[in-house]
Amino acid sequence: MNKFLTTTAVIALALAGAHVSARAADVKEVQMLHWWTSGGEAAALNVLKEDLSKEGFAWKDVPVAGGGGDAAMTALKAMVAAGTYPTASQMLGYTVLDYAEAGVMGDLTETAKKEGWDKSVPAALQKFSVYDGKWVAAPVNVHSVNWLWINKAVMDKIGGSEPKTFDDLIALLDKAKAAGVIPLALGGQNWQEATMFDSIVLSTGGPEFYKKAFNDLDEEALKSETMKKSFDNLAKIVKYVDPNFSGRDWNLATAMVIKGDALVQVMGDWAKGEFVAAKKTPDTDFLCYRFPGTDGSVIYNSDMFGMFNVPDDRKAAQVALATATLSKSFQSAFNVVKGSVPARTDVPDTDFDACGKKGIADLKAANEGGTLFGSLAQGYGAPPAIANAYKDVVSKFVHGQIKSSDEAVTQLVQAIDDAR
């Protein structure tokens, strides 16, 4: 078996073109694989590096070229197969569970008990950071997906107000259209379309329905009239997109709202990072509302540091990393910059801006009310095979390969069934 794994490692390495050297690890060093390379993200990570250096641990980035995480995940696969585990790696949702199932994750339960993570980290996140009763990952943040980002100047110009229902939103988009502004900024990539559809399903069917359909993958729910209605609503809202949207990156869509070319974008709170980077402030330059009809619920994704099964002499560095990651000071400092909210519900919101404060309050309420759901589009609703099958269907519907909502529902059920 080991020989096979080594072979796997060699082929994966060759395919990824990643150069990961299997060198002896320094025990006073934290080896970290991540794809946070943009200015804000790197600055946010520096906080963690400094925290660790105070305790005498050096920081070593495992080099991975290419953003977005795909290249990093391929390199990680190769490293793990070769048995040279990094101390920790940035991971998303079901990936953590995949690796835990493969038996390569470490065990941080002792630290977790001592630090009281069980109580402070929302149960929905624990589903991904705890495997088989053991803590295997440290959540870094919570992004929530069901937001509207609105340019305030444009909103004032067209005389709009916060949309409370889906129909309000359509009326607002109509107003923008009449005023000659692009109503909806959307990037025509499948994950962006599916991210928006996550919100539409929650808005159309309510929290119970979202959970049943997109977290439990209940076939009745997936086939239901409500799901058809969600696709109809998607068709309605897509009409407000400019004709040139296909293939556009999400940050370019955000830039359209920032510049006032477009009124609104439906996007996760990483969009706030773009507004902040453009020196815009909430409530004066831009507005953040929950997607109409989803107030009180949060569709989330979360960045996690997956902790690998390192030898005992490197364990101290790993524990230090995990403790620092979940410390209140780091959670606050990091998430102020990143645009997300802390992964524990007991962090004070003093340093956050208006949208951040709202995000923290919403997360707390959703956690207590049981309305915190993993985003299917972002890999927290189901494993990658299913999440991607879902994104395919939504994207084909948006771009007209699938023509009716009946057809879309049939396709969705079949695609999810295939990928199971």
Query: Is the CB of 141 or the CB of 190 nearer to another protein?
Result: 190
Write the binding mask 377 to 396 for another protein: x where contact by CB under 8 A, - elsewhere. Answer: ------xxx--xx--x--xx
Cβ proximity of 77 and 13 under 8 Å: no
Q: Which whole-number Å values give the CA distances from 270 to 143, 149, 176, 273, 301, in the listed order?
A: 7, 11, 24, 5, 11
98: contact with another protein by CB under 8 A: yes
Among residues 36, 136, 411, 416, the one that binds another protein under rule CB under 8 A:
411
Q: Coil, strand, or helix at residue 187?
A: coil
Distance CA 273, CA 192 (A): 17
Any idea of the CA torsion for 2, 4, 5, 10, to the nearest 10 degrees?
130
Query: Is the CB of 81 or the CB of 257 nearer to another protein?
Result: 81
Query: Is the CB of 342 or the CB of 379 nearer to another protein?
Result: 379
Distance CA 135, CA 128 (A): 9
Query: Is the CB of 90 or the CB of 388 nearer to another protein?
Result: 388
Number of other residues whose CB lies within 10 A of the CB of residue 346: 12
Q: How far is the CB of 27 from another protein (least distance, A)?
A: 28
Q: How far is the CB of 246 from another protein (least distance, A)?
A: 4
Among residues 30, 44, 64, 81, the one that binds another protein under rule CB under 8 A:
81
92: contact with another protein by CB under 8 A: no
Using a 10 angstrom Cβ sphere, with 0-12 exposed, 13-18 middle and 19 or more buried, the burial of residue 350 is exposed
Sign of CA pseudo-dihedral 273, 278, 279, 281: negative
Q: How far is the CB of 193 from another protein (least distance, A)?
A: 9
401: contact with another protein by CB under 8 A: yes
Query: Is the CB of 68 or the CB of 133 nearer to another protein?
Result: 68
Distance CA 340, CA 342 (A): 7
180: contact with another protein by CB under 8 A: no
Query: Is the CB of 210 or the CB of 397 nearer to another protein?
Result: 397
In a 13 Å sphere around the CA of 195, the CA atoms on its Cβ side amount to 25
Among residues 14, 22, 178, 354, the one that binds another protein under rule CB under 8 A:
14
247: contact with another protein by CB under 8 A: yes
Q: Which one of the spans 195-203, 216-224, 347-355, 398-406 is the region binding another protein (CB under 8 A)?
A: 398-406
Cβ proximity of 345 and 367 under 8 Å: yes
Alpha helices by DSSP H, 287-404: 312-325, 328-338, 354-369, 384-398
Among residues 70, 110, 283, 351, the one that binds another protein under rule CB under 8 A:
70
Q: How far is the CB of 28 from another protein (least distance, A)?
A: 31
Q: How far is the CB of 191 from another protein (least distance, A)?
A: 11
302: contact with another protein by CB under 8 A: no
Among residues 73, 173, 253, 363, the one that binds another protein under rule CB under 8 A:
73
Q: Crossing angle, helix 384-398 and helix 405-419, to 10 degrees?
A: 160
375: contact with another protein by CB under 8 A: no
Residues 206-235 touching another protein, rule: CB under 8 A, are none
Using a 10 angstrom Cβ sphere, with 0-12 exposed, 13-18 middle and 19 or more buried, the burial of residue 387 is buried
Distance CA 24, CA 416 (A): 43
Helices then strands, each counted (H, E), the chain: 19, 15
Residues 101-160 touching another protein, rule: CB under 8 A, are 102
Q: How far is the CB of 222 from another protein (least distance, A)?
A: 18
Q: How many residues bind another protein (CB under 8 A)?
A: 39
Number of other residues whose CB lies within 10 A of the CB of residue 159: 9
190: contact with another protein by CB under 8 A: yes
Q: Which one of the spans 38-46, 58-66, 70-78, 178-186 is the region binding another protein (CB under 8 A)?
A: 70-78
Residue ranges in contact with another protein by CB under 8 A: 4, 7-8, 11, 14-15, 70, 73-74, 77, 81, 98, 102, 188-190, 243-247, 383-385, 388-389, 392, 395-396, 398-403, 407, 411, 418-419
